Amino acid sequence: MITALSHPFFLHALLAGTAIALASGLVGYFLVLRAQTFTGDTLGHVAFTGAMAALAGGYDLRLGLFAATIGVALLLGALGRRGRPDDVVIGTLFSWILGLGTFFLTLYTTHRSSTQGNAGITVLFGSIYGLDATQTTTAVLIAAGITTAVLLLARPLLFASLDEAVAAARGVPATALGLGFLALAGACAAEVTQAVGSLLLLGLLAAPAGTAIRLTDRPYRALGLSAALAVLDLWAGLALSAQVPVLPPSFSIMAVTATCYAAAHLVGP
């Protein structure tokens, strides 16, 4: 573990991963509370398409990630009712966008991929050890921004998530909050894709939140616990993959989150 910390790639993974996990634990709590985990899943697929489109067009992969996830998150909100996407809209958009992703993947592999032949795999399953110093700084700053925003919105968002009509009657801008939250969820999905990949991002978004909700029935405590669990899951996953090099970090992080979730079900009410 000490030797692992002396490698810059591991240090980057730890720094970026911690910030990303913190943000995703917070966003994840509200995704679960608002019953929007399906939206989170869709944003993962959108992240893949966005990244592939950017690579095919010769741009920075992250540009495509963020543009696609935030754009689609807002589109879903606009198509749904009161800033809440509905499942049929999501399902239709989701498969179409994933199809588009395979198109960009083909375009990319046939025309551009002389250097990065496995970029598709990297986006799908993450490459947390592949982050350089600049990418790490950017990831940390964006995650800090998402974290701050979620904490600022937390209380009225909780109110609007539980009781939209009453919250609106009390002067909470429920629809705008719903849209704002979707944009944050989109940005968060783009961040998590860099850590564990677009296919696995629900593991960091939904599993810690699901675990926290099993363990406490106090909302703010659950929010904090969800963030703490996401960070701990990530640390444990990285430590595991440092000890057992054959385990890819995405796998070990997912293994830890799933184990925690299962354990919470066993001990919880």
Partner 1 sequence: MTAQPIEQAAVPAPAHAGAPVLQLTGAAVRVGGRTLWSGVDLTIGAGEFTAVLGPNGVGKSTLLKTLLGAAPTAAGEIRAPGRTEIGYLPQRRTFDAGVRIRGIDVVRLGLDGHRWGLPVPFLNRARRRAERRRIDEAIESTGATGYAHRPIGECSGGEQQRLLLAQALVTRPRLLLLDEPLDSLDLPNQSAVAALLGRICREDGVAVVMVAHDVNPILHHLDRVVYLAEGRAVTGPPREVITSETLTRLYGAPVEVLRTTDGRLVVVGMPDECRSGGPCC
Residues 220-249 that bind partner 1 (CB under 8 A): 220, 222
Cα 189 to Cα 261: distance, rounded to the nearest angstrom: 20
DSSP state for residue 59 in the 8-state scheme: S
Q: Which two tokens stand for residue 102?
A: 């395979």
Binding mask 192-221 for partner 1 (x = CB under 8 A): ---------------------xx--xxxx-
Tracing tokens 């995704």 back to the chain, one arrives at 31
Smallest gap from Cβ 90 to partner 1, in A, equals 19
Interaction of residue 71 with partner 1, rule CB under 8 A = no
One-letter amino acid at 5 equals L
Reference 47, options 136, 116, 125; nearest CA is 125
Smallest gap from Cβ 268 to partner 1, in A, equals 9
Helix (H) or strand (E) segment spanning residue 50: helix 37-57
Binding mask 151-190 for partner 1 (x = CB under 8 A): xxxxxx-xx--xx-xxxxxxxx------------------
By three-state DSSP, how is residue 81 classified?
strand
Interaction of residue 115 with partner 1, rule CB under 8 A = no
Interaction of residue 82 with partner 1, rule CB under 8 A = no
Smallest gap from Cβ 260 to partner 1, in A, equals 17
CB of 187 or CB of 223, closer to partner 1: 223
Q: Which residues of 239-253 are buried (b: 16+ CB within 10 A; e: fewer)?
A: bbbbeeeeebbbbbb
Where do the H-state alpha helices sit in 126-248?
133-162, 164-169, 174-196, 201-205, 207-215, 219-243
Smallest gap from Cβ 83 to partner 1, in A, equals 16
Interaction of residue 4 with partner 1, rule CB under 8 A = no
Contact 250, 230 (CB under 8 A): no
CB of 7 or CB of 265, closer to partner 1: 265
Interaction of residue 34 with partner 1, rule CB under 8 A = no
Interaction of residue 23 with partner 1, rule CB under 8 A = no
Interaction of residue 45 with partner 1, rule CB under 8 A = no
Sign of the torsion formed by the C-alpha atoms of 131, 153, 228 and 183: negative
Residues in contact with partner 1, counted by CB under 8 A, come to a total of: 25
Binding site for partner 1 (CB under 8 A): 151-156, 158-159, 162-163, 165-172, 213-214, 217-220, 222
